[in-house]
């Protein structure tokens, strides 16, 4: 079959399917793209010719289209994703941030940037980097460290092997992330005689690996010896569709369950075993139990510093860890007894191995009481009645109470993700979508677009601060173009308030975090507030806008947005000086060791006190 390289790529992607548990679906749902001279004649022409066999979606920013693909892939439990194409040059390098986000969060996204000429006849060409070390380096090499697989297709003959390697990585739960196939612009338009077998339907079966029998026995022995066990549910619980298996485990054993950012929603917030969020942005309930736990079992978590409170949270001197994870790297963290397996299968086999064993009833009762006390704290935070401006916790409460159990909240950066982790009452496994592996400002609207495309039956609430909004609001235009409805709650607090709070905590006085005029007297950005009207900006992009000045008006705006078929942006100003309830956990952010500022000196002393509780785990795995 004679096709160009671009046409062959499209034909191949159309034929790829994933399958798990007998359910099969097209793996690549479509292709996002912004075209330039580096990809219009190759993939652009091929997508035009393919029509709706591989639907093209027009983005406004290359980073945003990768975020949309990542949001879609996460919502689909990594069984489907999108391809993203850009031209060589700034289009390709714009995708680096999105690729890093996908790889950090272990989400499959296929990037197809254009590249320099393979023939080099006219070099240097427009946007060529001209690296003095080698002529085979281009700007696209920026994507190498943030891609799980990277290849450059200099010749058509190289394409079939590269496509198969790309799909191998994209469909491997332990290896997945961003995959980049760079397509030199002359090669992408070059014709070649391809074997027809390359374009036949191919099904990539997603396995559920079982744990090794001896490893299972070791893990069960450690858990069964515990007096104060705790289970930490991570994102892998969702990706392997293991929430029901976790429910069964919790019901049989009575082990309390805490949740990471990616794992939130693994149990409903009101389940008897649910402790809520854990770690630096966690609940006081989960963190109190974590400090006393003698065995901590992680399921599908990579043990980030927020989860472990920078290795200060699990304070029991003899604490032991068990880690169930499909990725051996993660299973070995914390010097854990590793259980390398699919989360759902692993939990089911642990249930069988622990038959007849339960956590102590008095301990379980104590954990439930801790959770109940925290839920009362959440209720108070939802209804503070703060004046004249509402607190951010009240905005979260209004959205949570207005939404249905199956609806989705989306966020990524600023103070909002930490507050959501503590305060959002999740009632559905897919009801919470906060990107906190990379905590990327600008993800919210683009990611929410991908979430809504993956789950059109759900309302999607995007909570975004003014800082993130200003970085990447462009995909509101895409929502209008595609008729995709989002409910965006835009919280105006005049700056990077999350980092402002962090800055003050390290003695840096909120430096560089407020949106202010430059003061001619001080020479600093500490003048009056900038007269920015983000509601007017959103309206100019074609969406419906509601200006709310109180929580009551916010609730009215949410009701109107729910009834509308259009994307709605609800603008509300909050008081950034009102913090969410404290988790009681620590986060390791270094403070200047010497300073002439009294605030910095005090912060350094506090930091050194925090370091005393930091306890990296190096002991041999428990049960060995």
Per-residue pLDDT tens over the stretch 131-187: 899 999 999 999 999 999 999 999 999 999 999 999 999 999 999 999 999 999 999
Residue 499: predicted pLDDT = 87
Cα–Cα distance measured from residue 108 to residue 96, given in angstroms and rounded to the nearest whole number: 14
> Does the pLDDT of residue 624 top 60, yes or no?
no
Q: What residue spans of 31-158 are helical by DSSP H?
A: 45-50, 62-75, 90-104
> Does the pLDDT of residue 446 top 70, yes or no?
yes
Neighbours of 241 (CB within 10 A): 17
Residue 500: predicted pLDDT = 85
State the number of CA atoms in the 13 A half-sphere of 492 facing the CB: 20
**Cβ neighbours of residue 344 under 8 Å, at least 6 residues apart?**
208, 240, 241, 242, 245
> Does the pLDDT of residue 466 top 60, yes or no?
yes
Residue 74: predicted pLDDT = 98
Ordered by start, the domain boundaries in the chain are 2-205, 213-373, 386-494+530-573
Residue 349: predicted pLDDT = 98
DSSP state at residue 621: P
> Does the pLDDT of residue 623 top 60, yes or no?
no
> Does the pLDDT of residue 123 top 70, yes or no?
yes
Cα–Cα distance measured from residue 488 to residue 539, given in angstroms and rounded to the nearest whole number: 12
Residue 480, judged by CB atoms within 10 A of its CB (0-12, 13-18, 19+), counts as middle
The two beta strands, 191-193 and 2-4, are antiparallel
Residue 618: predicted pLDDT = 74
Per-residue pLDDT tens over the stretch 568-602: 999 999 999 899 999 889 999 999 999 999 999 99
Starting at the edge strand found earlier in the chain, the sheet holding 432-434 runs 432-434, 408-411, 460-465, 487-492, 568-573, 544-548
Q: 576-600 b/e with 16+ CB inside 10 Å = b? A: beeebbebebbbeeebeeeeeeeeb
Neighbours of 337 (CB within 10 A): 26
Using DSSP, state whether 310 is helix, strand or coil.
Answer: coil
Per-residue pLDDT tens over the stretch 76-102: 999 999 999 999 999 999 999 999 999
Residue of 624, 621, 612 whose CA lies nearest to 296: 621
pLDDT interval class at 503 (50, 70, 90): confident
The two beta strands, 16-20 and 23-26, are antiparallel
The two beta strands, 109-115 and 81-86, are parallel
> Does the pLDDT of residue 230 top 90, yes or no?
yes
Q: Tell me how far CA of residue 553 lies from CA of 162, 399, 542, in angstroms.
A: 54, 12, 22
Query: What are 304's two structure tokens?
Result: 């980030």
Provide the Cα torsion 611, 617, 619, 623; round to 10°: 140
> Does the pLDDT of residue 359 top 60, yes or no?
yes
User: Which CATH fold topology does 213-373 show?
Assistant: Rossmann fold (3.40.50)
Residue 622: predicted pLDDT = 60
Fold match flag (2-205 vs 386-494+530-573): yes
Residue 305, judged by CB atoms within 10 A of its CB (0-12, 13-18, 19+), counts as middle
CATH class of 386-494+530-573: alpha beta
Segment (H or E) for 406: none
Cα–Cα distance measured from residue 273 to residue 370, given in angstroms and rounded to the nearest whole number: 11
Q: Report the length, in residues, of the chain.
A: 624
Segment (H or E) for 120: none
**The domain made up of 2-205 is a member of CATH 3.40.50.970:** yes
Per-residue pLDDT tens over the stretch 318-350: 999 999 999 999 999 999 999 999 999 999 999
Report whether 573 contacts 493 (CB < 8 A).
yes
Cα–Cα distance measured from residue 272 to residue 270, given in angstroms and rounded to the nearest whole number: 6
Q: In whole numbers, what is the pLDDT of the chain averaged over residues?
A: 96
Using DSSP, state whether 163 is helix, strand or coil.
Answer: helix
Cα–Cα distance measured from residue 181 to residue 536, given in angstroms and rounded to the nearest whole number: 40
Residues paired with residue 602 on neighbouring β-strands, in sequence order: none
Note if the bond before 124 is cis, omega within 30 degrees.
Answer: yes
Residue with tokens 């963290």: 333
User: Torsions phi, psi of 434, nearest 5?
Assistant: -115, 120
């Amino acid at each position: 079959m004679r096709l160009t390289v671009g046409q062959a790529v499209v034909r191949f992607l159309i034929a790829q399917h994933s399958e798990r548990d007998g359910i099969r679906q097209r793996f690549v749902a479509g292709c996002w793209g912004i075209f330039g001279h580096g990809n219009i004649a190759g993939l652009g022409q091929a997508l035009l010719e393919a029509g709706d066999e591989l639907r093209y979606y027009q983005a406004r920013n290359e980073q945003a289209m990768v975020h949309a693909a990542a949001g879609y892939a996460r919502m689909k439990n990594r069984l489907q994703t999108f391809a993203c194409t850009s031209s060589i040059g700034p289009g390709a390098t714009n995708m680096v941030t999105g690729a890093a986000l996908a790889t950090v969060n272990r989400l499959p996204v296929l990037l197809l940037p254009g590249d320099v000429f393979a023939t080099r006849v006219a070099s240097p060409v427009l946007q060529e980097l001209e690296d003095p070390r080698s002529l085979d380096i281009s700007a696209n090499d920026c994507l190498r460290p943030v891609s799980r697989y990277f290849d450059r297709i200099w010749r058509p003959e190289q394409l079939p092997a590269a496509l198969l390697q790309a799909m191998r990585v994209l469909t491997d739960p332990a290896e997945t992330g961003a995959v980049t196939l760079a397509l030199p612009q002359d090669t992408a338009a070059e014709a070649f005689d391809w074997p027809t077998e390359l374009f036949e339907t191919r099904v990539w079966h997603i396995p559920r690996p079982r744990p090794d029998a001896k490893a299972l026995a070791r893990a069960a022995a450690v858990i069964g010896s515990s007096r104060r066990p705790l289970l930490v549910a991570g994102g892998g619980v969702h990706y392997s569709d293991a929430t029901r298996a976790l429910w069964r485990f919790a019901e049989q054993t009575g082990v309390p369950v805490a949740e990471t950012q990616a794992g939130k929603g693994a149990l409903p917030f009101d389940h008897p075993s649910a402790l809520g969020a854990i770690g630096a942005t966690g609940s006081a309930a989960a963190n109190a139990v974590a400090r006393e736990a003698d065995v901590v079992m992680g399921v599908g978590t990579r043990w980030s510093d927020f989860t472990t409170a920078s290795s200060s949270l699990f304070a029991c001197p003899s604490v032991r860890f068990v880690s169930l994870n499909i990725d051996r790297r993660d299973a070995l963290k914390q010097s854990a007894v590793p259980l390398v397996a699919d989360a759902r299968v692993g939990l089911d086999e642990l249930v069988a191995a622990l038959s007849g064993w339960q956590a102590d009833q008095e301990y379980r009762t104590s954990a439930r009481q801790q959770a109940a006390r925290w839920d009362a704290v959440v209720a108070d935070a939802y209804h503070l009645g703060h004046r004249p401006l509402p607190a951010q916790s009240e905005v979260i409460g209004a959205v949570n109470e207005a939404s249905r159990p199956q609806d989705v909240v989306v966020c990524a950066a600023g103070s909002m993700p930490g507050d959501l982790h503590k305060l959002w009452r999740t009632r559905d496994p897919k009801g919470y979508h906060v990107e906190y592996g990379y905590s990327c400002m600008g993800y919210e609207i683009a990611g929410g677009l991908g979430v809504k495309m993956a789950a059109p039956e759900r309302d999607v609430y995007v909570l975004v601060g003014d800082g993130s909004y200003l970085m990447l609001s462009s995909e509101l235009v895409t929502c209008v173009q595609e008729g995709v409805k989002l409910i965006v709650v835009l919280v105006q607090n005049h700056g990077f308030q999350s980092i402002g709070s962090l800055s003050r905590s390290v003695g840096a006085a909120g430096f560089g975090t407020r949106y202010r005029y430059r003061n001619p007297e001080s020479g600093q950005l500490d003048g009056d507030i900038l007269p920015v009207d983000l509601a007017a900006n959103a309206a100019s992009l074609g969406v419906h806008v509601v200006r709310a000045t109180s929580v009551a008006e916010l609730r009215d705006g949410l009701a109107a947005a729910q009834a509308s078929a259009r994307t709605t942006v609800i603008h509300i100003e909050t008081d950034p000086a009102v913090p969410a309830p404290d988790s009681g956990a620590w986060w390791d952010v270094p403070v200047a060791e010497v300073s002439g500022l009294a605030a910095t000196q005090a912060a350094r002393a506090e930091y050194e006190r925090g370091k005393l509780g930091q306890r990296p785990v190096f002991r041999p795995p428990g049960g060995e």
